[in-house]
Structure 1
Amino acid sequence: MESRFFIAPEQLEAFEAAARSGSFSAAARSLGKAQSTVSGLISNLEIDTGLTLFDRSGREPKLTAQGRSLLHDARSLLNSYSRFEAKSRSLNAGLEESLTIAIDESSIDLKALTESLQAFYSKFGTVTVTLLHASGDSAAKLVREGKADIGIVLSQSDYPEDFDFRGVGNCSFVMVAGKNHPLTALDTVGVQDLHNHLHLRISASSDPASMPENDLSDRIWYLESYSLFMTMLTAGLGWAFTPLHIARPHIERGAITVLNTNFQLTPYPYCTDLIWSRRKTLGPAGKKLIDEVSRVLSAEKVVTEPA
């Protein structure tokens, strides 16, 4: 039967520190241990593995070929031990193991969301986060069904009774078309002008019965992907009412044009809400995420017109 041996984390820690610092004495100082203790841990590791990890014939110990071969694995194991300890402490403190966030991209600038997530990760790095693309009402549906812990959505006039929400910011919408679209040649765009051209809309559903009502065009295409949506717009295929944070880069490079309408399509700016269900109590990580998104968005200047 193959013999088994137990490698203690302290042995790997002493081995890695000595390899990194170049001496047992320096390793001992970095670990806050006596040099004899570090030397003993490394010697025991060599006995347990049956390998010579350091050549001690010179003034300072040098890694052998066997030692170099094992160093990467030792560091990987030490990282695993650290993650295990951190996650154990987090679970004991009631921290969630994972969070799922449903995001309607029209409701939040992804740069702002990323800044929020960076601050969140610095404090809750052990929490696994899943980000779901959820256009329109599908984010609220995912939260309602328990498939997402938090939703980031455009504000709704009425939420289910078992929902909690927090208003965290604003986002503006503009009516745009590709730079070569016929509508861009008009000094002023009226409702009848829109009727004559294809309207592109973002929708999470492929069921025609559930599509949002629209009386601004006789021709409507529904898309789930904003990347395809913007590609089609810049190519001149249709017009759209688009979140400014998504349209702005394309406006600035001249690929799409803001249309000058003689009517106000809908009040703006829209509010951005964070939503979650009262059926599932948010833990420290979920509450921190809400706070970070609120902090970042509240610090942003509300813009209602393109620059």
Structure 2
Amino acid sequence: MPQPVLSLDALRALDAIARKGSFAAAAEALYKVPSALSYTIAKLEQDLGVQLFDRSRQRAQLTSAGLLLLEQGRELLQASQRLEEQVRQLDSGWEQRLRIVVDTIMPWAPLWQLSADFTALERFTRLQFSEQVMAGTWEALLRDRCDMALGLAGEGVNAQVELHLLGYAEFAFAVPPTHPLAQRVATTPDEPVRREELLAFTAVVVADSAAEMPGRDSGLFAAGHVLQVPTMQAKIAAQLAGIGVGFLPVHLIQQELLTQQLVVLTTEIPRAPVPLYLGWRKDVVTGQACRWWREHLLNLPWQQLLTPGELKAHV
């Protein structure tokens, strides 16, 4: 296999000549004597077997081959600089990658501002967000498929996981105002929606994303038919379309309630609030990026975000 003839020093020399406009100015910028810079370029041309500069004119001009090498070489120089910075960053405790799993019940908006703030730190840690559902969120954390999980639901007891309660998600039975159940409640507002009434409608449920752990469906109740969807946003869309009914997280349907695309009905089977946690594994050594995200996530006003206001049932 032939030995490579390109070196970063040679590429830096070529870049400096192109930027400064002359060998003399480039040599000064690189703290070299002009003869040393001329030798570097001549040696590179000899090793490559191509002419990089047209020296027939008073001022040397890059040839087509020289322009190609300059363009591609600058990409190599930038990649080299990024690699050096990443190595130094890793040595200082900043991870190359941070994986955050977000349960489908959580709002995404607060994460975008944190992402912008994190990017402003000018670290090279690559953020990787993914979405899971219920036991799938736990599974991703326990199977080491993420560094932290946002929106873990349940009683919050697991010996392997450090858990911090964020708040409680509240649910409302919400349908479009044109839905038959909404029309019925409008005529008899003192009567909540009964269990037997639900049998006439399709229940929209979010399927648990767990592949190994026992899962369950979100929002499942006794109904005539069941429509299973992959995310909470898909469930909201299905109920807005009038395809089915079910309980929805209040914090995710604020706009739909304000614009009366959805109305809340009182039912005989109210759904209890669900505690949500931020969690990470106790046995995994974490870096500075993970610690930064933990601190800033825990400082967000989650209870306010999860319980934005009191709702009134449709009358």
Equivalent in the alignment of 1:11? 10
Q: Please, which of 230, 253, 258 is the counterpart of residue 224 of structure 1?
A: 230
1:127 aligns with 2:125: yes
Aligned in 2, Cα 1:58/1:213: closer, same or farther, shift over 3 Å?
closer
TM-score normalised according to structure 1 size: 0.77
Where do residues 1-307 of structure 1 align in structure 2 (5 Å cutoff)?
A: 3-20=2-19, 22-23=21-22, 33=31, 36=34, 41-56=40-55, 61-107=60-106, 109-123=107-121, 125-168=123-166, 173-185=171-183, 186-187=185-186, 188=189, 190-192=192-194, 193-194=197-198, 196-205=200-209, 210-211=215-216, 216-219=221-224, 220-244=226-250, 246-248=252-254, 250=256, 256-261=261-266, 265-266=270-271, 272-295=276-299, 297-298=300-301, 302=305, 303-304=308-309
Displacement after TM superposition at 1:236 (Å): 0.7
| 8 A Cα contact 1:172 1:305, kept in partner | no
Distance 1:26 1:240 in 2: 72
| 8 A Cα contact 1:94 1:284, kept in partner | yes
Q: Which amino acid aligns with 2:206?
A: I
Distance 1:299 1:40 in 2: 64
Aligned in 2, Cα 1:233/1:299: closer, same or farther, shift over 3 Å?
closer
Aligned in 2, Cα 1:153/1:206: closer, same or farther, shift over 3 Å?
closer
Deviations 1:214-260 (A, max 9, x none): 78542443322345323322221112322345434555666x31324
Once the two structures are overlaid, the 10-residue window that deviates more, 16-25 or 82-91, is 16-25
Aligned in 2, Cα 1:62/1:241: closer, same or farther, shift over 3 Å?
farther
Distance 2:231 2:256 in 1: 16
Displacement after TM superposition at 1:74 (Å): 0.8
| 8 A Cα contact 1:102 1:134, kept in partner | yes
Largest Rg, 1 or 2: 2
The root-mean-square deviation of aligned C-alpha atoms, in Å, is 3.7
Q: Which amino acid aligns with 2:160?
A: D
Q: Which aligned runs of 4 or more in structure 1 are off by greater than 6 angstroms?
A: none
Q: SS in structure 2 opposite 1:100?
A: strand
Gaps of 5+ in 2: none
Gaps of 5+ in 1: none
Displacement after TM superposition at 1:164 (Å): 0.8
Distance 2:287 2:15 in 1: 36
Deviations 1:102-126 (A, max 9, x none): 210212x223223323333444743
What is the total number of aligned residue pairs between the two structures? 299
Distance 1:56 1:25 in 2: 15
Displacement after TM superposition at 1:57 (Å): 5.0
Q: Which amino acid aligns with 2:193?
A: V
Aligned in 2, Cα 1:289/1:141: closer, same or farther, shift over 3 Å?
same
Q: Which amino acid aligns with 1:276?
A: W
TM-score normalised according to structure 2 size: 0.75
